[in-house]
Amino acid sequence: MAWLAPRVAAAIQDRLYDSSPAPIKGYVRELEDGSLLIDDGGKPGADGGAMYRFEATFTPISQGSSAVPPMCFHLHVELSARIIGEPQVETYDTVVLRKLAR
């Protein structure tokens, strides 16, 4: 799970345009070809039997203003799974920059 949490963070950062991002919940499922599906846009319960679940939260680091909203956030990802019947949790923290709309 330690190698998976940074990949979830990268997928989230890749789509970070919101100046006030809400917490994100989602799942990660391994596809038949071995690739990973990282989904945070599905309906609750639509995880297709995914082994991993995640929750991501954002805390602004940079001070924004009415003219310039925050650009920098602390991203905390908590990845969880049941492995051999036991709950396992891996956390990952990083700093992310909001993307600018073009």
The sheet carrying 52-60 orders its strands as: 36-39, 24-30, 52-60, 72-83, 86-97
Q: Give the residue from 71, 54, 56, 78 showing the smallest Cα distance to 20.
A: 71
Q: Where are the domains of the chain?
A: 4-54+63-97
Query: Residue 79 has what pLDDT?
Result: 94
pTM (predicted TM-score)? 0.82
Give the pLDDT of the chain (102 residues) as one tens digit per residue: 888 999 999 999 988 888 889 999 999 988 889 888 888 865 655 666 678 999 999 999 877 666 677 888 999 999 998 888 888 999 999 999 888 776
Cα 23 to its chain centre, rounded Å, is: 9
Query: Residue 10 has what pLDDT?
Result: 92
Query: Residue 76 has what pLDDT?
Result: 97
